[in-house]
Structure 1
Amino acid sequence: MISILRRKITCCLFADYASPHCIARSFCLRLFSTSNEGACVSSAAIFDLLQQKHHFSAEVATKAASVLNRVKDTEKCNSMLSYLQQRGFSNTQMEKMVKVWPELLLARFSNSIEPKIKVFQDMGFSSKDITKIISANPSILKVNLNSRVIPLLSMLKGSLGNNEAVAKFVSRSGWFVTVDFKRTMLPNIELLKSYGVPMERIIKLMYTFPRCMMLNPESFRKSVEKAEEMGANRSSRMFIHAVQALCQMSDNVLELKLKALRNCGFTESDILVLFQKSPSVVVMSADNIRTTKDFILSNGKYGMPCILNNPAALSCSIEQRYKPRFQTLEILENRSLIKYWPTLASLCQMSDEKFFERFICPYSSELKNACTADSSLKLKHWLKNCQ
């Protein structure tokens, strides 16, 4: 209880100190200058060191000062920051590391930092890669060097092929050091390879959804088998996306998702077609799918086959994409300025710039005359840009 109270007091102290009102800081120092006087003064010194000398934010400086409130000498903290600077860490990277792990400032160079940096160097990592990897997750400095760091880096390099790919992967999923890579990711990689999935696609999955690859191999195998059972083709680029989608949910959740799609009016065969072409449809909100489907079908220009041929259409925004484009095309058609609407696939995939160039600019005066108070804000914005 005393420890908790002390931390709360220290946080209050630096919340005031970080503001222009230094009187509050002095008052707090005098008020709590009994048995905790040394701790408070030490915390203030750490705060000053981080914010004034190293230009950390008040938030990070306050957090570090409250955690390290028993430190009497700030020289060790300053030495650590100076050491990290010499090793190429930027001020932003150091601040990020201290925010996650304030105790880093008290770590021993010889035990926590130097040996691991040397391992990276010996494996051919550049200074830029090393700082990128470590700052992404400072916990790599806590784990055992021989039993965890070296084997993990070796296996990653063997799987990904080069240090640049390893650095990119680790910086995006630095938590991998807390997982048994040999018993999780490696078997999952081998399983996908046994299905004929090219390594470049596996690497893409590791980058975009690494937690999927960290699943228990048995759970991962079930997702892979389920993807194929639902019609995903091993040789298709959609296969890893199908696996990724299924890895995100249990069997019960998947069944609820499929039931929701049935309630939206899709048949069993429709659902399989949707999944094979756009696996993410099974993780989308059923309400959003229903609302978007109904809007697409509302004016009779597009039917269910259009949606089944282009399931990604269900993920587009009604307000930002469909409504302004439908209104524009309806005006142009009513004024006999266009004979045909673009296909649903073209309408979805066309950028705002392309749609503007093709359907707004050539008919700006006609559209302005037909634009009403109920017209979408985006359509009004487009017309304003034609002035």
Structure 2
Amino acid sequence: MFNFMANMLPHLRYSVNRYSPIQRFYFLHFAPLSSSSKAVKSNPENAKNGDSFTVSYLINKCRFTPEKALSASNYMKIEEAGRPDAVLLFLKNQGFTKSQISNIVKRYPPVLLCDPQKTLLPKIEFLKSFGFTLEQLTAILNASPSAFGRSLENQLVPTFNFLNNFIGSTEKIVCVARRCTRIFGVDVEASMGPNIQLLKDVGVPESKIIQLLIDQPRAFVIDKKKFRDIVEEVQGMGFNPLRYNFLLAVNAFRAMSKETWEKKMEAYKKCGFSEAEIFKAFKENPRCLVVSAEKIVAIMDFLFNKMGFERSVFRNRPVIITHSLEKRVIPRCLVYQDLLAKGLINDGLSLARVVEAPEKKFLEKYIACHEKEAPHLLKLYTEKLALLH
């Protein structure tokens, strides 16, 4: 039953698509935005050396590095400063901060070639009419600057309508935009719609689907056949569609290639766990196989070799592997060990409970309440945090 590595899940052959080097220049997929703003002609010498005025403008006005300015100049051309200056001023007047403007331009240089009134303003006005506050709309466009280059009628309106009808919250749409910046570059109804319907058909509650869409929108933007294969495999592994772990498992397999899965399995095995134990941990908390192999080894080494904890710490609560080693596991383990040594807590207290506690609760329950007996704990904790950060 547990020898599933020998019969690797079929869907793992569907690895996550990685961007090729040319896809880094994603703005090439957009048509010129203004007849007065010309793209660089296909000229070998031009492609090698870039356009000097464009390079100079991007470095001096937009704080590009010389390398990034040269790279951008091979695919776009600024003939004079009038248009890009107007774009920068427009964004400032619309309420974008200096850092947001810098981020937008660096991630989507062709925005400098847009007509502020004809191309940019209608999209901002649409977002305002949709009910987004200034803070929300600047956050969306800062997270997904390529939206400036998308068609308002054919892309932005349908995308926002689809998300709003399903999620029903502008604040949550902002979260989706931040976590999946390419959301405005896909036909969400065609790509997300069938995948959402499939989850409903297999019994996943809509509230949990919405939760995953907000937390991991990328999970839905894949080919529907691949998505169906993954869902069927997760069903076959015995995950309950009524529980959120079902969706976490779907997302975990969506995000991993076969090679990555095998690498993480090997990492756990090197730490002394059997396939049966790994499989059991995965069923309890699929996130334990989403973290990197390097993190798996680092946390296990700290817990078992440096701190001397038993492997049951992970077996009982595999979620412990998902926390930050530097920000959570190390400083809190030191506090836990100190409390245990002084007899302020008993060894029946789960280490996972200490690690997983919200920061405020942790400080109150494990440090503040022992201030008289162990006044050094707060200093130990804060100094270790500062050192590791």
Q: TM-score, normalised by structure 2?
A: 0.67
Please give the residue correspondences for 1:196-211 in structure 2 after superposition, counting only pairs within 5 Å: 196-211=203-218
Please give the residue correspondences for 1:1-387 in structure 2 after superposition, counting only pairs within 5 Å: 2-4=45-47, 6-7=49-50, 43=57, 50=61, 57=63, 63=69, 67=73, 71-72=79-80, 74-109=81-116, 111-251=118-258, 253-255=260-262, 257-258=264-265, 260-262=267-269, 264-285=271-292, 289=296, 292-293=299-300, 296=303, 303-315=310-322, 317=325, 320-321=330-331, 324-325=334-335, 327-329=337-339, 331-332=341-342, 340-350=347-357, 353=363, 354-357=365-368, 361-363=372-374, 378=380, 381=383
Which deviations, in whole Å up to 9, do the C-alpha atoms of 1:271-318 show, x marking residues without a partner? Answer: 333112221222345575467557656799965555322112344549
Separation in structure 1 between the aligned mates of residue 382 and residue 141 of structure 2, nearest angstrom = 49
Aligned length: 330
Separation in structure 2 between the aligned mates of residue 380 and residue 86 of structure 1, nearest angstrom = 42
Q: Secondary structure at the match of 2:159?
A: helix
Do 2:78 and 2:113's aligned partners in 1 also have CA atoms closer than 8 Å?
Answer: no
Separation in structure 2 between the aligned mates of residue 104 and residue 295 of structure 1, nearest angstrom = 47
Q: Which amino acid aligns with 1:355?
A: Y
Do 1:231 and 1:272's aligned partners in 2 also have CA atoms closer than 8 Å?
Answer: no
User: Which range moved further: 88-97 or 63-72?
Assistant: 63-72
- In structure 2, the CA distance between the partners of 1:231 and 1:262, relative to structure 1 (3 Å rule), is farther
Shift of 1:362: 1.0
Separation in structure 1 between the aligned mates of residue 346 and residue 72 of structure 2, nearest angstrom = 70
Separation in structure 1 between the aligned mates of residue 375 and residue 307 of structure 2, nearest angstrom = 25
Separation in structure 2 between the aligned mates of residue 212 and residue 181 of structure 1, nearest angstrom = 12
Looking at CA atoms only, which structure, 1 or 2, has the larger radius of gyration? Answer: 1
Please report the RMSD computed on the Cα atoms of aligned residues, expressed in angstroms.
4.2
Aligned to 1:21: none
Do 2:86 and 2:116's aligned partners in 1 also have CA atoms closer than 8 Å?
Answer: no
Gaps in structure 1 of 5+ consecutive residues: 15-42, 51-55, 368-376, 383-387
Separation in structure 1 between the aligned mates of residue 48 and residue 346 of structure 2, nearest angstrom = 74
User: Which range moved further: 150-159 or 136-145?
Assistant: 136-145
Do 2:120 and 2:148's aligned partners in 1 also have CA atoms closer than 8 Å?
Answer: yes
Q: TM-score, normalised by structure 1?
A: 0.67
Aligned to 2:18: none
Separation in structure 1 between the aligned mates of residue 164 and residue 247 of structure 2, nearest angstrom = 21
Higher RCO (CA < 8 A, seq sep 6+): 2
